[in-house]
Amino acid sequence: MTYDCDILVVGSGAGGGTFAAACARAGKEVLLLERGRLMLADPLNHDEQATLLDKIPYDDRPVVVNGTVRRLYIGGVVGGSTALFGAALLRPSRDDFHPGRHYGRRLPRSLWDWPIDYDILEPYYTQAEQLYGVSGSMDDEFGPLAKPRQGFPRQPMPLHPINQRLAAANRAHGLQPFRLPLAIDPARCQLCPACPGYLCPHQARQSSGLVVERVMADGHRLRLLSYWEAERLERGPAGKVVGVQARDRASGASATFRARRYVLAAGAIGSPVLLLRSGIEGELIGRHYMPHLAPIVVGLFSRSIEAETAFVKQLGFSDYYFGTRTRPEKLGLIQSLPVPGPRMLAQAAPRWLRAGLVGYLRPRMLPLAGIVEDLPQPTNRVDLGPDGQPRLRHRFAPYDWERGRRLTRLMARILRRAGARWCIGKPFPSEEHVAHQCGTLRFGRQPDHAVLDPDCRLFGHPNVFVVDGSFFPTSLGVGPALTIMANALRVADVVVREV
Ligand SMILES: Cc1cc2nc3c(=O)[nH]c(=O)nc-3n(C[C@H](O)[C@H](O)[C@H](O)COP(=O)(O)OP(=O)(O)OC[C@H]3O[C@@H](n4cnc5c(N)ncnc54)[C@H](O)[C@@H]3O)c2cc1C
């Protein structure tokens, strides 16, 4: 058979972009297919422009979510969701790899331990932090979260005055706020208030699109076909895949590409959809979808704190990661969030709140978000509807909601300590917010409880790997991006050795 490349990668997000770059740097010939356009920066970077509300750089596929057709908040350009993400690249806690220690009987025995532990991923976390130029402070305490052994590649940006106040007031109460490790280059950052959710016009916020672009500029054998969609895997004997059928979305032309290894990184919704469309079915494919329960609390101050004029996504609190002294049940991380833009806020605000009042409130607002590790349930799943379109069915379990409510109360307390007079909580942004999607092709030791083996190879299909967020057996209590990147680098070592 003649091959078009050594390794074919589908999807250029946190998993695919990182993986493709690593394999190309290791001397392999890589073809990267991405269904979105090449858009690395966007000068229309503010809420008055349409980008966020109209979801221009977001995935343009309609997905049926719990019976309603929606467009989702996941990246749909080169770089995937990292083109738009909040850039908080956090290592989880060592315990996150042993969920049985905290959830016990709430999880099947097969999920009590991930098939790899933190120490296996540790060197790859370091590599990923270097690759994405993460800024952070080694002087800070991260509580139960793991800290880089060799420090952060970049120093953090100065704290906004309201964050200084938030940190000091909570330190006085015994908490240990820390600066969020961010994949943002402080030398380029213009501290735009609207950061996550938009393409960075200054290329200060790193993305896997930028990582791919750098590798191509360095002359490595990485070929990117943007606006090309992988439609089907062609299957051969002995479970092997022998090609990927893809379509150029601009011209409508189709082609089949052949490689020695096929690596799926189309995201935790996109990758199971591609397998199902290729006739690769299995009881577990697409199940156990997890998006994190992410409660939001907005603190309202009596005077302007000017958080709406600058970058404020800067602080993290891991003090309640494993619950409180009186109730030591895992809750997850709390982190800063930017103040929503005027249009976004007007859309989210109740109707009785007039536009003038929204304008009055914005300078007095400071939001925090929680990240609650939602537990996997087989009924939460991605599959294909009768018309072949992707379908997502999802409900949080009462235990997830209950922990979300507790974290909400603790977030309100943090804001009040800094002077917030009132706090308004929202349990979950909306069903379209699937930014932290994971879990739909989980890895494990045996095919009876997992879809991928510990190397992220598809059981029964020896030349197919998956490196996006689908591989998570549980959702962690921090954002998933750094773990996806680190795991992609780990799997790249396996594939490079094999090819
Ligand atoms: C607004 C926003 C803010 C976020 N903030 C943070 C944060 O601060 N910290 C954090 O840890 N995480 C954050 N996340 C989540 C993080 O970005 C994702 O978890 C991560 O990017 C997922 O990586 P992935 O490789 O699984 O998928 P993605 O990054 O989504 O990449 C999948 C790619 O595959 C492409 N694709 C899909 N189907 C096909 C196909 N058939 N053919 C070809 N290409 C295809 C898609 O277009 C996409 O580019 C955020 C996400 C969003 C949207």
Nearest CA to ligand 1 atom 23: 14
Q: Which atom of ligand 1 is nearest to the CA of 86?
A: 8
Q: Is the CB of 88 under 6 A from ligand 1?
A: yes
Q: Which two tokens stand for residue 121?
A: 């991923």
| Residue-range definition of the domain harbouring residue 449 | 5-498
Please count the residues of the chain: 499
Question: Which of 81, 263, 434, when mutated, tests ligand 1's pocket best, judged by the most ligand atoms within 8 Å of its CB?
Answer: 81
SS3 content of the chain, % helix, strand, coil (to 5): 30, 20, 50
End-to-end, the C-alpha distance of the chain in Å comes to 15
Task: Using the mean position of ligand 1's atoms as its centre, give its distance from the Cα of residue 393 in Å.
Answer: 19
Q: Which atom of ligand 1 is nearest to the CA of 271?
A: 38
Please tell me the total count of domains within the chain. 1
Q: Is the CB of 429 under 6 A from ligand 1?
A: no
Task: Using the mean position of ligand 1's atoms as its centre, give its distance from the Cα of residue 13 in Å.
Answer: 5
Question: Which of 37, 85, 134, 248, when mutated, tests ligand 1's pocket best, judged by the most ligand atoms within 8 Å of its CB?
Answer: 85
| Cα distances (Å, whole numbers) of residue 398 to 167, 215, 433 | 32, 46, 19
Contact 321, 478 (CB under 8 A): no
The residues facing 434 across adjacent strands are none
CA gap 419, 339 in Å, rounded: 17
CA gap 457, 465 in Å, rounded: 4
Residues with Cβ < 8 Å from 96, sequence gap 6 or more? 118, 373, 474, 476, 477, 478
Task: Using the mean position of ligand 1's atoms as its centre, give its distance from the Cα of residue 488 in Å.
Answer: 13
Task: Using the mean position of ligand 1's atoms as its centre, give its distance from the Cα of residue 139 in Å.
Answer: 31
Q: Is the CB of 480 under 6 A from ligand 1?
A: yes
Nearest CA to ligand 1 atom 10: 479
**pLDDT given at position 137:** 97
Q: Is the CB of 177 under 6 A from ligand 1?
A: no
Task: Using the mean position of ligand 1's atoms as its centre, give its distance from the Cα of residue 394 in Å.
Answer: 19
**pLDDT given at position 358:** 80
Contact 440, 272 (CB under 8 A): yes
**pLDDT given at position 45:** 58
Residues with Cβ < 8 Å from 275, sequence gap 6 or more? 233, 264, 281, 285, 286, 441, 458
Task: Using the mean position of ligand 1's atoms as its centre, give its distance from the Cα of residue 469 in Å.
Answer: 8
**pLDDT given at position 175:** 98
The pTM for the full model equals: 0.97
Q: What are the mean pLDDT values of the chain's consecutive 10-residue runs (499 residues total)?
A: 94 98 98 95 64 83 95 95 97 98 96 98 98 97 96 96 98 98 96 89 96 98 98 97 98 98 98 98 97 96 94 97 93 94 78 75 95 97 94 97 97 98 89 94 97 98 98 98 98 98
Q: Which two tokens stand for residue 10?
A: 């589908």
Can you spell out the DSSP letters for 49-117? SSTTTTTTTB---EEEETTEEEE-SSB-BTTGGGGTS--B----BGGGG-THHHHGGGS-GGGSS-SS-
Nearest CA to ligand 1 atom 21: 81
CA gap 466, 449 in Å, rounded: 16
Can you spell out the DSSP letters for 387-409? TS-EEEE----HHHHHHHHHHHH
Question: Which of 39, 63, 71, 82, when mutated, tests ligand 1's pocket best, judged by the most ligand atoms within 8 Å of its CB?
Answer: 82
Backbone angles phi, psi at 382, to 5 degrees: -105, 130
Beta-strand (E) ranges in 203-275? 222-226, 228-235, 241-248, 254-257, 259-264
Per-residue burial over 58-94, b = 16 or more CB atoms within 10 Å of its CB, e = otherwise: bbebebbbeeeeebbbbbbbbbbbbbbbbbbbbbbbe
H/E stretch holding 497: helix 481-498
Backbone angles phi, psi at 197, to 5 degrees: 100, -15
Contact 202, 71 (CB under 8 A): no
CATH number for the domain that contains residue 341: 3.50.50.60
> Nearest Cα to 474, choosing from 498, 499, 450?
450
Q: Is 348 helix (H, G, I), strand (E, B) or coil?
A: helix
Per-residue burial over 297-327, b = 16 or more CB atoms within 10 Å of its CB, e = otherwise: bbbebeeebebbebbbbbbbbbbbbbbeeee
- Parallel/antiparallel/unpaired status of strands 241-248 and 381-384: unpaired
Answer left, alpha or beta for residue 306, where phi above 0 means left and psi between -120 and 50 means alpha: left
Q: Is the CB of 10 under 6 A from ligand 1?
A: yes
- Parallel/antiparallel/unpaired status of strands 390-393 and 62-65: parallel
Amino acid at position 47, single letter = D
Q: Is the CB of 75 under 6 A from ligand 1?
A: yes
Amino acid at position 409, single letter = R
Long-range contacts of 55-63 (CB under 8 A, 24+ apart): 57/83, 57/84, 57/199, 58/84, 61/390, 62/389, 63/269, 63/389, 63/390, 63/391, 63/392
Q: Is the CB of 290 under 6 A from ligand 1?
A: no
Residues with Cβ < 8 Å from 222, sequence gap 6 or more? 20, 21, 24, 30, 32, 212, 215, 216
Q: Is the CB of 226 under 6 A from ligand 1?
A: no
Task: Using the mean position of ligand 1's atoms as its centre, give its distance from the Cα of residue 389 in Å.
Answer: 20
Please, what is the Cα angle at 239 between 237 and 241, to 5 degrees? 85
**pLDDT given at position 49:** 59
Task: Using the mean position of ligand 1's atoms as its centre, give its distance from the Cα of residue 482 in Å.
Answer: 12
Task: Using the mean position of ligand 1's atoms as its centre, give its distance from the Cα of residue 359 in Å.
Answer: 32
Task: Using the mean position of ligand 1's atoms as its centre, give its distance from the Cα of residue 217 in Å.
Answer: 23
Q: Is the CB of 314 under 6 A from ligand 1?
A: no
Task: Using the mean position of ligand 1's atoms as its centre, give its distance from the Cα of residue 129 in Å.
Answer: 17
